[in-house]
Amino acid sequence: MLNLFITYKCNLSCDYCFVHGLGQLHPMSISDADFQRLCVWLAEHQVPTLGILGGEPTLDKRLPDMLARLHDIGVAPVVFTNALFESSESRIGDDLSLALKPKENDELISALCKHAANIVVNYNDPTNYSEIQIKRRESNLQKLQERGAHITFSKNFAPGDTEWQYLIDACRRFGVNAIRYDISRPNLNRTNSYINSSAYESKCADDIQICNSSQSIKQLQDNMKSHLVASHDGTSRHINDHIVEFVRACEQASIMTGLDCCLPSCMFTTEQLQYLHATSLRFTHVCQPSIDIQTDLQVSYCMPLAQFALSNVLDYNGEWELMAGLSSMAKPLREKRPLACEACEHYAKSCQGGCLALRASDVCV
């Protein structure tokens, strides 16, 4: 699926956000003219689905019209939101310039229900929100549910953010039966809180013996520490165990789970791998370009690898040409075999050796 980032503005500040900083490299929001040009291109190339992201896309007051326009040209939009939008009538505090008038708020909810094929709600742990934000999110979800919107939740496992029971409870409250999940990935400048999935445990220790770059040694040591991720109760557990327990709990509650990106296979035990492959959708160890269209129509491999970019989506002959261009751009990085994977029979077959964005600096050969 192609993704369009309509704005980098957001009304939340998640530690793990991989979008921070992009507003300095591209316009803060897409222009009307570029959106119209993109619509012509999408129709011409019969693109069936488009992810609409930000930042927080509901902060862009043009969103209802954009969704209607996409619907008119036969593109099914999937909107990614934190569901914190609100009307100026109900607001208490925060930035007034971001508030919607009550009529605009109604139009937004109507457009989401009418035109969005799916609304993917980034539903973080309630301990990260103020009371007002929690009320606002719950009220919006209730309105969406009452009006028949198709909702999926999204969970990002990040350092210090590994709880998931609150999500299962929310699925019950709002009749949601699907959760998309991932580990937090690095942003372009590595300034966010992310989980390093590039090299693991004893393999890293061996690598330290043969690495001759002091910067790489430090990175590998950081990797070793990062396998243990702190939980709210103050204990540390391996991230793979958190993921497996989460998927099992979802399965027991009849909630479908789908992995967003790929994870290295040696992150899991053989038994865990068998279980996840059988239970979790898109559970894979090799990534494909996410095809992220920035606000100026530049197209990136994915946000963590935003530097791997094609200059303008309109210059390409459809989704497959973009996929091919971005894949070939990332090929040299993909072919740089991490030291941790040197003797691994899975490398370049069933596993790519972790997130390519991390490899950009982790490889020490």
Among 39, 357, 363, 364, binds ligand SF4 (CB under 6 A): 357
Query: Residue 12 or residue 43: which is nearer to ligand SF4 going by CB?
Result: 12
196 binds ligand SF4 (CB under 6 A): no
> And the tokens for 225?
């520490």
Binding segment for ligand SF4 (CB under 6 A), chosen from 90-98, 100-108, 300-308, 312-320, is: 300-308
Query: Residue 151 or residue 287: which is nearer to ligand SF4 going by CB?
Result: 287
Query: Residue 247 or residue 302: which is nearer to ligand SF4 going by CB?
Result: 302
CA dist., res. 309 & res. 291, Å (int): 9
The distance of closest approach from Cβ of residue 75 to ligand SF4 in the complex, given in angstroms and rounded to an integer, is 22
14 binds ligand SF4 (CB under 6 A): yes
CA dist., res. 258 & res. 276, Å (int): 10
Q: In which residue are the tokens 């160890």 written?
A: 285
Query: Residue 114 or residue 337: which is nearer to ligand SF4 going by CB?
Result: 337
265 binds ligand SF4 (CB under 6 A): yes
Query: Residue 351 burial by CB count (10 A; 0-12/13-18/19+): exposed, middle or buried?
Result: buried
Binding-residue pattern over the window 27 to 56 for ligand SF4, x denoting contact by CB under 6 A: ---------------------------xxx
Rounded to the nearest 5°, which phi and psi values hold at 265?
-70, -30
Query: Residue 287 or residue 313: which is nearer to ligand SF4 going by CB?
Result: 287
328 binds ligand SF4 (CB under 6 A): no
Q: Facing residues of 351 across strands?
A: 347
Cα–Cα distance list, 245 to 152, 161, 242 (Å):
19, 14, 5
Query: Residue 10 or residue 297: which is nearer to ligand SF4 going by CB?
Result: 10
Q: Strand 118-122 and strand 151-157: pairing?
A: parallel
Query: Residue 59 or residue 297: which is nearer to ligand SF4 going by CB?
Result: 59
Q: Render 57-118 in DSSP notation, one character per residue.
A: GGGSTTHHHHHHHHHHTT-EEEEEE-S---BTTT--SS-GGGPBPHHHHHHHHHHHHHH-SE
261 binds ligand SF4 (CB under 6 A): yes
CB atoms within 10 A of CB 244: 20
353 binds ligand SF4 (CB under 6 A): yes
The distance of closest approach from Cβ of residue 30 to ligand SF4 in the complex, given in angstroms and rounded to an integer, is 15
The distance of closest approach from Cβ of residue 67 to ligand SF4 in the complex, given in angstroms and rounded to an integer, is 18
The distance of closest approach from Cβ of residue 290 to ligand SF4 in the complex, given in angstroms and rounded to an integer, is 5
- For 179, the enclosing helix (H) or strand (E) is strand 178-183
